[in-house]
Amino acid sequence: MRPFLNLAFFSCVAVGIFGCASGTPKDQPGEVVGETDAQEISTTETTLPIEPSEQWRYATLFLEYKSQQVLAEDMEFKAVLLASVSMNGNQKSSNVKIKRSESLISLVIIVPPKVQSISLKLFDLDEHASVLCQQIDFDPTPNPFETVTLYSPMMSEFLGEPWHHEAHVCIPRGSASAVPVIHHISGFIENREQSHEYNLSQVSGKIQSRPASGEAAVAHVFPNVGCRYGHHTFHDSKVNGPIGTAYVTEFLPHLDQLISEHNGPEHRFVTGHSSGGWTVVQLMLNFPDAFAYGLATAPDPLSFTQFHDMNIYQDQNAFTRPDGTERIFGRDYPKGDIVSWKTTAADPTIDFYPKQIVSYEAAFGFPMPDGSPAHLFDRSSGEINSSVAQAWKSSDLSILADQYEGTPKAEVFDRLRIVCGTEDNFGLHEGVRVFGSRGNGKSVSGEPFLQWIDGGDHFFGVYKFVNDFEAFARSLFPS
């Protein structure tokens, strides 16, 4: 198995959902805007109304660039044109540079069902420039993604009722050979319904219209990570059930065959942020043969000795430190307001953070007689339940990583990268430091598996690393 070459992966930008080429309007019928009625795109955003459709479509926009400016010899581009569409309220956009030699350009964009408009905006290099949209042609295209479900015998038996795996999957068309598959694990969500909707919005960013010539195909999987107690983290749990084992043994092989009959574990890549980042590390450690490579950004606490300003094994109280000061759960974004453990547990107006705590308790702990997860601490006094804390040790990834030291299992660190800001809003960098202390943060091959973003918070530019990760996957399986 080839290790990562370096933490930057490859200097490459992933392809967006837009493509462009020079050209003139096609002879085929299209939605034509007459010369006198041509819609002008200026430096302010212009909305082009289109007839909504029930199917996915390619839209080819034929545009004419006009300007009275005489360009300087060293000016390579005339302007930058930004186009965007909305899918389920999630705006996706990209831009094209209008080259010096172009006056007529065509822009191809993929349009989801029921979309009623396309937004265009010109960033002028010339205040007298304008772009006219002369014509829009539509061509139907198959749905670029599908929602895949699969009955799970393991989870159904545990829950005592039918349960199904679910994922939104983007499958590259026309690929007869095996392709790399990126599994995207979302951050914290509150339930299965929210996970479904969030993934639906995210999948639009991975829909490619017409890939560049010679570019390697890649598939994308957005699995549902929700359960009744929040984010299940694909971690086998006494509360949530054997969700990790079920995912790896039941769903992953099914997805492989759906994407290509030639696909297998060596083609699987997994990435995630925050709770999704913890999930990535957990999957790579507990199921080292399930994925070829993993990228985790700003993962939830990798050591429970640094659990949001608390050592659950030694501290007595979740609300206050020994000196009486309040423990900090995190700093809210973007204001930076401090959120204490006491406020998080006691304030009924705070909706998000208490559910995150319950999600932890369900994933790491054990059930009460009614099936709900046992509380790590008393919600009124803050007193930590030592028996619950000790039960969490089997889910403490830093302890698991230490057990791998000096064994063949340590090779997994050649295939795992963790990226975290040094000033994470929720103190997650402290858990990463403990986890990264093994082998001085280096893998068996001597390569560092941990990268710090100096001054970065919980929301640093993670997408650059995800794009580089995708480029790395493409490089291993060129078309």
- Residue 166 pLDDT > 70: yes
Lowest mean pLDDT among 56-60, 283-287, 379-383: 56-60
pLDDT of residue 17: 27
pLDDT band at 79 (very low <50, low <70, confident <90, very high): low
pLDDT of residue 262: 86
pTM: predicted TM-score of the whole model, two decimal places: 0.75
pLDDT of residue 16: 28
- Residue 19 pLDDT > 50: no
pLDDT of residue 388: 97
The more confident residue out of 119 and 370 is 370
- Residue 205 pLDDT > 60: no
- Residue 246 pLDDT > 70: yes
pLDDT of residue 7: 40
Please provide residue 283's backbone torsions phi and psi, each rounded to the nearest 5 degrees: -65, -40
pLDDT of residue 250: 97
Please provide residue 21's backbone torsions phi and psi, each rounded to the nearest 5 degrees: -160, 150
The more confident residue out of 423 and 80 is 423
DSSP alpha helices (H): ranges in 287-414? 341-346, 352-364, 386-391, 397-404
Rounded Cα distance between 119 and 82, Å, is 8
Mean pLDDT of 37-60: 72
pLDDT of residue 177: 79
Output the average pLDDT for the chain. 80
pLDDT of residue 303: 96
pLDDT of residue 208: 43
The more confident residue out of 59 and 143 is 59
Lowest mean pLDDT among 75-84, 368-377, 380-389: 75-84
Q: How does pLDDT run across 308-333, given as a tens digit for each residue?
A: 999 999 999 999 999 999 998 887 65
Cis peptide, bond prior to residue 142, ω within 30 of zero: no
Q: How does pLDDT run across 112-146, given as a tens digit for each residue?
A: 778 888 877 766 556 667 777 778 888 776 666 78
pLDDT of residue 15: 26
- Residue 381 pLDDT > 50: yes
Asked if 183 and 270 touch (Cβ cutoff 8 Å), the reply is: yes
- Residue 334 pLDDT > 50: yes
Q: Of 210, 21, 44, which Cα lies nearest the Cα of 120?
A: 44
Burial of 432 (0-12, 13-18, 19+ CB in 10 A): buried
Q: Any bridge partners for residue 421, and if so which?
A: 453
Q: Of 121, 103, 33, which Cα lies nearest the Cα of 64?
A: 103
The more confident residue out of 323 and 100 is 323
The more confident residue out of 282 and 13 is 282
Lowest mean pLDDT among 156-170, 278-292, 450-464: 450-464
pLDDT of residue 296: 96
Q: How big is the chain by its Cα radius of gyration, in Å?
A: 25
Residue linked to tokens 């905006």: 121
pLDDT of residue 20: 37
247: left (phi over 0), alpha (psi -120 to 50) or beta: alpha
Q: Is 301 helix (H, G, I), strand (E, B) or coil?
A: coil
CA-to-CA dists, residue 7 to 285, 289, 403, angstroms: 19, 22, 24
Lowest mean pLDDT among 15-24, 328-337, 369-378, 428-437: 15-24
- Residue 441 pLDDT > 50: yes
Lowest mean pLDDT among 282-286, 317-321, 437-441: 437-441
Q: For residue 280, give the amino acid letter.
A: V
pLDDT band at 243 (very low <50, low <70, confident <90, very high): very high
Burial of 44 (0-12, 13-18, 19+ CB in 10 A): exposed
The more confident residue out of 21 and 51 is 51
DSSP per residue over 68-135, as a string?
Answer: -----TT--EEEEEEEEEEETTEEEEEEEEEETT-SEEEEEEEE-TT--EEEEEEEESSTT-EEEEEE
Q: Which span out of 56-70, 97-111, 263-277, 438-452 was modeled with the highest average pLDDT? A: 263-277
Rounded Cα distance between 336 and 331, Å, is 5
pLDDT of residue 72: 65
The more confident residue out of 1 and 402 is 402
Mean pLDDT of 204-225: 68
Q: What percent of the chain has pLDDT over 90?
A: 41
pLDDT of residue 231: 94
Can you read off the two tokens belonging to residue 148? 């895949």
Length of the chain: 479
